[in-house]
Amino acid sequence: MEDIEILQDIDWDNLIFDLSPTRSMYIAEQRDNKVWERGKLVPFGNVSISPAAGVLNYGQGIFEGLKAFRTSRERIVLFRPGNNAIRAIQSAERLCIPPVPQEMFMEAILEVVRDNSDYIPPLGKGSLYIRPVIWGTGTVLGVKPAQSYTFLVFVSPVGHYFKNSEKCLHLKITNKFHRTSPRGTGGFKTIGNYAASLLPQKLAKKAGFDEVIYLNAANEHFVEEVGSANLFILKDNTLVTPSLTGSILPGVTRDSVIQIAKKILKLEVQEREVSVDEVLDADEVFCSGTAVNVTSIGEITTDETFRIISGGKIGPYTKRIGEILSGIRNETVEDQFEWLFPVF
């Protein structure tokens, strides 16, 4: 393994969502379709992989994303890590990858976070992003599952996903590209889903947009997801989000937003098909995800029209949901849902 230089001095006030190498990572192997071997911490660095590896040739790989936070009670906590462990199992099964048991997944996360706890930003400055990956590293030539697999977890201190987190996003609704297809892999966190989004994202940013809103592939009548996040609209005190029909990722933050809206804000919540016209006519629109948190969408463009949402400002419910979610993570709001998992 070739070591990579470790960042010594971190400017906590200017963190962005990008890799800052840390002290260590966790790695475990599964060979010849046997049980997962006990993993270990190793210095963060490059890994050796065959050019014939299944993950490189046929995309047999999945990943997860979650965060660790410092709180107002001087604790370090994870946010709903059990959900990520379960989703990783579901994604692995979809790609014929031997699932990492939930207990092993959790132990790996805790080991890495504890060993790199000094890389967790101070309260309010960011978070420690945790990236578990499972790859088919065994060699293949024909299209078939690999015989060997690698489970790896690395971490990085990060700031906001979008450069100006206080500014509402301007998104483009596109029918030129589809993120996924019916009965495909859209509901799973597979690496190929995200590779397919790179060109639409590049073209959107070149045209001055922050991201893309994708339509359903079947008839292009309904919105599905933002590039790397779930989509919500609010109209007449009703919060609506596209239902999980198999082509939309069941986001952990998505579920958290729904529970906050129902149980704290007492909003009606609907999970159903959402038309383009409904999005353009909404009182508020926002996206949610581990990386983006809760981010307001203030402008939406289609091929035919342009619409300003909520006066181009963060809507009151969007703001309140984001504040409650951040407050729970920071322990300034009661964690009535028992979402926090203490590291120390």
Q: Which helix (H) or strand (E) holds 238?
A: strand 238-242
Alpha carbons 4 and 158: distance in angstroms, whole number:
18
Annotation marks residue 189 as catalytic: yes
> Strands 127-136 and 66-70, how do they pair?
antiparallel
Q: Cα angle at 197 between 194 and 198, to 5 degrees?
A: 100
State the alpha helices, DSSP H only, in the chain: 54-58, 81-94, 102-115, 191-195, 198-206, 252-263, 276-280, 316-330
State the angle between helix axes of 102-115 and 81-94 in degrees (0 to 180), rounded to the nearest 10.
130
Query: Considering 67, 176, 189, 262, which one is annotated as catalytic?
Result: 189
Q: Calculate the alpha carbon distances from 253 to 12, 118, 169, 197, 334 in Å.
A: 24, 25, 18, 20, 17
Q: Which residues are catalytic?
A: 189
